[in-house]
Structure 1
Amino acid sequence: MVTTNVNVGARETVAPAAASKLYFAAWRWHFYAGLYVIPFFLMLAVTGLCMLWIAHLGGRDGERITVVPGDAPMALSQQAAAARDAVPGGRLMQYIAPREADRAAVFRVDTADGAAMMVAVDPYAANVIDSWPRRNGAYDLADRIHGELMLGVTGDRMVEIAASLGMVLVASGLYLWWPRNGRSWRDALLPRLGRGRSMWKSLHGAVGFWLSIVLVFFLVSGLSWAGIWGEKMMQAWNQFPAEKWGAPLSHANHGSLTNGPKDVPWTLELTPLPLSGSVAGAEGVAEGLPLTIDVMDRFAREIGFETGNGARFQMNLPQGHEGVWTFSRDSMSTDSLDPTADRTVHVDRHTGRILADVRYDDYSLYGKAMAVGIALHMGTLGLWSVLANTVFCLAVIGLCISAVVMWWIRRPAGAGRLAAPPMPRDMPLWQGARLVGLAVSLAFPMAGLTILAVLALDTLVLQRLPGLRQRLS
């Protein structure tokens, strides 16, 4: 190897050495990030598959329960009374309109101690068909594992760390597999079949290369739900400016309407609800009409909340003297196949005036991206999106398995250590690498904190325990 003190041709000979060191450094970071990320990616892919097909085949909240259509539905007030009577001491909270004429109406009724129950009612007979605790099915179990490992805030942070480090994994993986040193674009994009580790490496690299953009989309859209990067940063910067409504604002936000998993538009979740009882608002329900559930149901349909062709709307009833009637159709609740049809309307419970009418066009740019992105992420755009997401989840599982197989083949037999790629000495452009690390830390705080924790562990603990350090290297 020609060193840097050679004047003639030094630029040509040093560059490959520097590139080789950067390659091994990137490989090392890719390896250690993968140690943490792979179990989470496997969990996310498996639970994602479960949610995809459970929602597609059976629905999430009873919307696929069938009934025999009659001449005309009974009055909504009669249906609601039947649902409320099915829960002793219950309080009616929400009505979910049927998507089609042969589907059940679903009501949310809270018990005296605050537990949410869902009640399916035959709209043509006002008879209760079934009832069950809200968000207590197989879909919801998979959802809780997917989002927080059933560990609450702790689990949410662990998943966010994995998704944040996933960005590091994608960036380092692209660098490692980028065509160089005689390898062509065909080698990068098409796996070469064969035997042994080279075949697994080719398969892992090619699939990862193709999947990288889609994986980044899923990571970013998933992180936008997370507690730090999502709620504290992106949602806080993109929540809807409720002040433009001109109505008094509640201390409760739109997220409080669901009493559980996030089922309201992403950009509205942290936005305060308006309050009833003022002179604010635009013309709404005709003056003189009683503001009953029947009148409000008819009014919702008059202003554009149609049902049929797979679409539905939801009505939240006002709670308390200052509560509002809320009509909504949004991608978070899978109310239609068109995420750009999002709409949320609040009506004063005393005057019938429209206090807010928020549509997709009113969202911020990132809010619009999330409305569409959530539908893509969850596979709620029809069968094609379910199939596309299925292929994606299977590809992620394949990437994780191939990574473990490559490590298993490469590791020295009986070495008793992780056999991580060696860290090259005298790293070139190390200041630049630090700047990249700083940028990642600022963009994704949980990744930055994790990297700092690992560096602190290495400096303060592993340096003093050479045996343990050897096993982890």
Structure 2
Amino acid sequence: MGDPKPHILSGAYRAVWRWHFYAGLLVLPVLCLMALTGGLYLFKDEIDAAVYRPYERIEAGQQWASPDRWTAAASVGAGGRVVNVRVPDRPDRAVRLTVRRPDGEQRTAFVNPYDSQYLGAVRYGGVTEIVKQTHSLSIIGPWANLLVEIVAGWALILVATGVFLWWPRKRDAGVLTVRATPPSARPFWRDVHAVTGLYAGAVIAFLVVTGMPWSAVWGDRFLGLIRETGAGRPPAPAAASPWLHAEHDDHPAGVGWTMEGAALHGGHHAGPGALTRVLETAEAEAMARPYTVTIPTDPTLAYTVARENKQVQDARSLYIDSDGAVRADIRYDQFGVGAKAFEWGVAVHQGTQYGWINRYLMLGGCIAVWLLAISGVTMWWKRRPNGRLWGRLGAPTAPPGPRVRAAVLGVVLPLAIFYPMTGASLIVALALDRLGRLIRRRLAPA
């Protein structure tokens, strides 16, 4: 290889390579799934527009009918209670209403705002909701958030060990460009793998880190820390009640992570015409469309009107009594520094903060994950050994020595400590690795 210190460097290199191999083996299938669904979700608006077109396109009119007639039409048509209403930003688009049926299933209903005609309903969220649930792994069950943290932590280990392996040494290898070797040769795929990791590694790491708030252990701890230190949501206005934690059915829609679950007492009981008065107030307060109005099941809670924004600095939530009085007007500049960073990371992760450049940069990261997986599997296939069952994985051998172990721990251990679920899975991986070596020794010929 031509390394300046072959015994030390080759041992450390092989040890880090071994963990890079195992990290890829553990998480690349799930990471590829998340990259595929994440890439699709970047085009949520375009997908929704195509899917909803038969229901959403209407003839523009002059004046809305009463919003209470919208909810009545949706309730009858979709067979349930309306929990929120999305007011469109174009006059030739229908109103979307989320309807919860008695069996708990949710539907997205469409109503013409000018004559209150029910236009139809689809499964809640449509195609992009399925994509979102698959991306977050929530489609597989309640423990999915734990898996998200494990996969994200190991993905960072992949990036960190990949940087170590890429680092230029005195050897004949592609560092910044792919060497002119035949595509059938292993060096070509090695260079594709290394150069792709070099140029896309930072984007992949960013996607992983900004996706961690969705995880169970680390995400909850991070959010809790932000709120405990006063760096999160702003205090409730003095004239309003303290923030309440809304029950599941009353969770405000579209308010973002910072204000998630935050509700205020409305001070008045809801009655006929309440939604109409709330919308009149939202329009009078110049709430930019599109926005979503959450209709609480608890009649003492305020309605929440949340702007559907692309850039975090445009975030705004109004809390309005059923009689139309504003209880609170919360904007981005009122957030603490932690909440601002948190919301900014989510917006960039979703490709909306900086327009099309942001979107296609994140898409590039998703494509790079697949290219890294394909090139990695191709390299393994070309060097796979033929032998006993326990040798067929083709993992690099684990060289002995404290300096070698220190090299691995220096890369892996900080990430395992910072992300608890990754640390727990690392202990399991070490135990399985040890068990595998013991079995191989037993099976080795005398």
Q: Same fold (TM over 0.5)?
A: yes
Shift of 1:200: 0.4
1:272-351 to structure 2, matched below 5 A, reads 272-277=262-267, 292-307=274-289, 312-329=290-307, 335-349=308-322
Match of 1:235 among 194, 206, 223: 223
Cα distance in 2 for partners of 1:62, 1:366 equals 36
Which of 64, 74, 94 is 1:73 aligned to? 64
The alignment of Structure 1 onto Structure 2 pairs a total of residues equal to 429
Query: 2:167 maps to which residue?
Result: 178
Deviations 1:212-244 (A, max 9, x none): 1100110011111111221x2222222445654
Match for residue 447 of structure 1 among 395, 417, 422: 422
Asked whether the equivalents of residues 180 and 188 of structure 2 are also in contact (C-alpha less than 8 Å), the reply is yes
Residues 65 and 116 in structure 2, CA contact (< 8 A), matched pair in contact too:
yes
Question: Whole-Å Cα distance in 2 between the matches of residues 467 and 182 of structure 1?
Answer: 33
Residues 453 and 60 of structure 1: is their aligned pair in 2 closer, same or farther, counting only changes over 3 Å? farther
More displaced, 243-252 or 148-157? 243-252
Which position in structure 2 is the counterpart of 1:83?
74
Check 1:274–1:73 CA distance in 2 against 1; reply closer, same or farther (3 A cut). closer
Paired with 1:244 and 1:122, the residues of 2 have a C-alpha distance of 36
Where in structure 2 are the equivalents of 1:95-110 lying within 5 Å? Answer: 95-110=85-100
Matches within 5 A, 1:27-46: 27-46=17-36
- Describe how 1:17-416 pairs up with structure 2 within 5 A: 17-53=7-43, 55-59=45-49, 62=52, 65-88=56-79, 90-135=80-125, 137-148=126-137, 150-181=139-170, 187-195=174-182, 196-230=185-219, 232-239=220-227, 240-241=232-233, 243-246=235-238, 247-249=240-242, 252-253=245-246, 257=250, 263-269=254-260, 272-277=262-267, 292-307=274-289, 312-329=290-307, 335-349=308-322, 352-380=324-352, 382-414=355-387, 416=389
Given that 1:18 and 1:427 are in contact with CA atoms closer than 8 Å, whether structure 2 keeps it comes out as: no
Counterparts of 1:94 and 1:365, CA distance in 2: 30
Quote the residue 1:286 is aligned against.
none
Q: Secondary structure at the match of 1:189?
A: coil
Alpha-carbon distance, 1:249 to partner: 4.6
Q: Contact between 1:235 and 1:266, CA under 8 Å: does it hold in 2?
A: no
1:47 Cα deviation after fit: 1.8
3-state SS, counterpart of residue 33 of structure 1:
helix
Partner of 2:432: 457
1:137-170, CA deviations, whole angstroms, 9 ceiling, x for partnerless residues? 3222222222116221333322321111000000
Mapped contact 1:116–1:134 kept (Cα < 8 A) = yes
Q: Deviations over 1:268-305 (max 9, x none)?
A: 22x54222339xxxxxxxxxx99722221121122231
Distance (Å, rounded) in 2 between the aligned partners of 1:153 and 1:469: 40
Instruction: For residue 182 of structure 1, report the CA deviation from its aligned partner.
Output: 5.3
**Higher RCO (CA < 8 A, seq sep 6+):** 2
Partner SS, residue 108 of structure 1: strand
Aligned in 2, Cα 1:172/1:370: closer, same or farther, shift over 3 Å? Answer: same
Structure 1 unaligned runs (5+)?
Answer: 1-11, 279-288, 330-334
Aligned in 2, Cα 1:68/1:349: closer, same or farther, shift over 3 Å?
Answer: closer
Structure 2 stretches lacking a partner, 5+ long: none
Shift of 1:322: 2.1
Q: Which moved more, 1:67-76 or 1:401-410?
A: 67-76
* Correspondence for 1:7: none
Letter matched to residue 74 of structure 1:
A
Question: Shift of the alpha carbon at 1:204?
Answer: 0.6
Give, in angstroms, the shift of residue 434 of structure 1.
3.7
Quote the sequence identity (%).
28
For the Cα contact (< 8 Å) 2:12–2:407, is it kept in 1?
no
* Partners of 2:47 and 2:128 within 8 A in 1: no
Q: Which moved more, 1:387-396 or 1:93-102?
A: 387-396
- The AA in structure 2 aligned to 1:443 is F
**Residue deviations 1:304-326 (CA, integer Å, cap 9, x gap):** 3122xxxx111112322322110
Evaluate the alpha carbon distance shift between residue 212 and residue 277 of structure 1 in structure 2; reply closer, same or farther with a 3 A threshold: same
Q: Is the 8 A contact 1:254 1:272 kept in 2?
A: no
SS across alignment from 2:56: coil
Question: Is the Cα contact below 8 Å between 1:122 and 1:129 reproduced in 2?
Answer: yes
Cα distance in 2, alignment partners of residues 226 and 80 from structure 1: 35
Per-residue deviation, 1:367: 2.4
TM-score, normalised by the number of residues in structure 2: 0.86
User: Quick one: structure 1 residues 51 and 431, their matched pair in 2 at CA, closer, same or farther if it must change by over 3 Å?
Assistant: closer
**Per-residue deviation, 1:29:** 0.8
The match for 1:8 is none
TM-score (norm 1): 0.81
CA drift at 1:398: 0.9
Give 1:453 deviation, angstroms.
1.1
> After superposition, what is the alpha-carbon deviation per residue over 1:9-34, rounded to whole angstroms, capped at 9, x for unaligned?
xxx97x55322222111111100111
CA separation in 1, counterparts of 2:46 and 2:160? 33
Number of the residue aligned with 1:6: none
- Higher mean alpha-carbon deviation, 248-257 vs 70-79, is at 248-257
Report the secondary structure of 1:37's partner residue.
Answer: helix
Measured against aligned partners, the alpha-carbon deviations of 1:321-364 in whole angstroms (never above 9, x if no partner) come to 322110101xxxxx2332321111212346x5433322212223
CA distance in 2, matches of 1:57, 1:72: 29
Q: Displacement of 1:250 after TM fit?
A: 6.6
Mapped contact 1:93–1:108 kept (Cα < 8 A): yes
The one-letter code matched in structure 2 to 1:314 is T
1:175 to partner: Cα distance? 0.8
Contact 1:317–1:325 under 8 Å retained in 2: yes
